[in-house]
Amino acid sequence: MSKKHVPLILFSALALLLAVGMISVSGAFADGVGVNLVDPTPPPPEMPANPYGAYFNPDLKHADKLREADALWITLFLHWRNVEPSPGQYNWAAWDEPLRQAAEMGYQVIVTVTGNPSWAAETGCGPIREDRLDDFATFIRKAVGRYSYPPFTVRYWAFYNEPDNSDAVNYGGILGGCWGFDYNPNAAPGAGGAAYANMLKYVYPAVKAANPDAYVAIGGLAYDYFTTDPGGGLFDPYFLTDVLDAGGGDYFDVLNFHYYPWSADIHWEPEGANRYERHLAFKARWITTEVYNATGKRMPIMITEVGETSHNKDGIPDYHRQMWTLFETFMHARMVNVYPILWFTGADLQFSIDYDGRRYGLLKLDGAPKPTYFAYKTLVQELKEATFVRPRDDLPSRFEGYVFNDRGRTKQVIWMYSGHPDFPPPQPLDLPVSKKGGSMRVVRVRSHPHDDQDLDIVSEYTVTDGGQGDHDGWVNGKIRVMIDEDYQFFEDLSQPMDTPTPTPTATPDPHIDLFLPIFYR
């Protein structure tokens, strides 16, 4: 084994110790074990406040219904081979329309580039031949130059989906990436993190030359289900480290990974960690720390896939599990500065149902909403303009909660923590209001729909301090609410809501006004 893999063995051993509980993590930093975990850096202030989105592939069918739910972000795949089937021969028609459509609907688009032509690579999902990297850079420069500006205005560019996949034979076409290696006999020729880093060295300057304000994201890493896991997996555990060792950290602006809760128990469930220190939050901090230790840079993170199926393999619905994943992952993402985060998927995918019966969509194949669609819509509409403040780590362990500031008002999201071993009956919790006799708006999302047709899961009402619904019955500046497994939003209506300061109207110049057409007056 080469020397470069010695620190990776230590990294994997440390991950194993964390997973089996020999090292405990407290807060954002480990205490006394020599491992400091850092948060991703927040997104740039010029970005839209709303971080929520959904994955659609291969087209935008039913994407309008997610925009109705105020999803703002979407990811689309751009296949090089379809645009440039022969060297120097470009046909953009197939991509102009979906990208224009997405922009017209109001989406912020993340383009993931994949699909190598056969004249440039041995596989459609992996390394490009060295003598064709200049051609790839030219293609990227043209694509960014075309789609960065109206009517498309794409700003984010990612390269290959789950590029740490090491099985080009069986999974490259499904996943869209196969740059991983780790001695897998099915690895693509020339695969490995160093080859991916070399590709980034060509495309990063090409992107910036076409649009200096564009962002380059590493392709969405699985960073999980490793080939070294018990029973074996698909993904190269050394891929990211090899990218960084080869200098690739200087050639992307944004980290990008995927998260699915089925893997949490193996890698992202450190012993002794509380409900705010594990799962997606732990994975985000771990991957951020790996890059930070290699480059000295705290990078921003996006997550282009996070999800859970609404039905088990026998077709029996489990919407409670899907909703729990939605709320916990989206809250964790806000807590550790992930921006944006996209649910996988907006609508069910036929190939996923055919493959293993899984239905990840918020919508069914025909676009009909599932109960989870209304949970998603409520979460997004309640928090799309809110700023994260803190987790409610002051609450007893049976609760999970998060505090936001929504345009000047305190808004909290609280539910009975799903990790609690023995769910008690609904428990009381006192929430302050900013003045005695004040009011609180409550939005409840019922977490146990009965079946596919049980869509009326959201209710809204107002509780007044000392009035009906205040379970302590006193006018005392706090409202006693009952917390159960349902997801509840609590907004303090006693606080004024910020309103944008209107832009002063300029005094019209009478000389100019004489020449203005009537419809401008």
Q: How much is the mean pLDDT over the chain?
A: 88
Tokens of 275: 């409900």
The per-residue pLDDT for 23 is 30
Q: Is the pLDDT of residue 198 over 60?
A: yes
Going along the chain from its start, the domains and CATH numbers come out as 3-385 (3.20.20.80), 389-492 (2.60.40)
Phi-psi label, residue 135: left if phi above 0, alpha if psi -120 to 50, beta otherwise? alpha
Token couple for 30: 């480990």
21 has a pLDDT exceeding 50 = no
Which of the four pLDDT bands, split at 50, 70 and 90, describes residue 5?
very low
Average pLDDT over residues 378-404: 96
State the CB neighbour count (10 A cutoff) for residue 350. 9
Closest of 10, 20, 51, 63 to residue 346, by C-alpha = 63
Buried b (16+ CB within 10 A) or exposed e, 484-498: bbbbbbbbbbbbeee
CA–CA dist 452, 221 (Å, integer): 32
519 has a pLDDT exceeding 50? no
Contact 181, 227 (CB under 8 A): no
Region 506-520 average pLDDT: 29
Residue 3 pLDDT exceeds 80:
no
Residue 422: its pLDDT value, please? 64
pLDDT digits (tens, 9 = 90+) for 276-285: 999 999 999 9
Question: What phi and psi values does residue 427 have, to the nearest 5 degrees?
Answer: -115, 145
Which pLDDT belongs to residue 35? 58
How many angstroms separate the CA atoms of 331 and 401, rounded?
A: 9
Q: Residues 168-175: what's their mean pLDDT?
A: 93
pLDDT at position 512 is 26
User: How far is it, in rounded angstroms, from Cα 270 to Cα 49?
Assistant: 31
The pair phi, psi for residue 158, each rounded to 5°, is -120, 155
In single-letter form, the type of residue at position 405 comes to N
User: Against a cut of 0.95, is the pTM above it?
Assistant: no
> HSE-up of 475 (CA within 13 Å, CB side)?
5
Residue 517 has pLDDT above 80, yes or no: no
The whole-number pLDDT of residue 250 equals 97
Residue of higher predicted confidence among 200 and 59 = 200
Compute the average pLDDT of residues 348-375: 92
Confidence of residue 419 (pLDDT cuts 50, 70, 90): low
- Residue 271: per-residue pLDDT: 84
pLDDT at 494: 94
Question: For the chain, what percentages of helix, strand and coil (3-state, to nearest 5) are there?
Answer: 30, 20, 50
Q: Please name which of 294, 460, 473, 489 lies closest in space to residue 402, comparing C-alpha atoms.
A: 489
Q: Are 361 and 319 in contact (CB under 8 A)?
A: no
Tell me the per-residue pLDDT of 24-45, one tens digit each, with 9 for 90 and over: 332 232 332 335 899 999 998 8
Of the two residues 312 and 275, the one the predictor is more confident about is: 275
Q: What pLDDT does residue 514 have?
A: 26
**226-258 tens-digit pLDDT:** 999 988 899 999 999 999 999 999 999 999 999
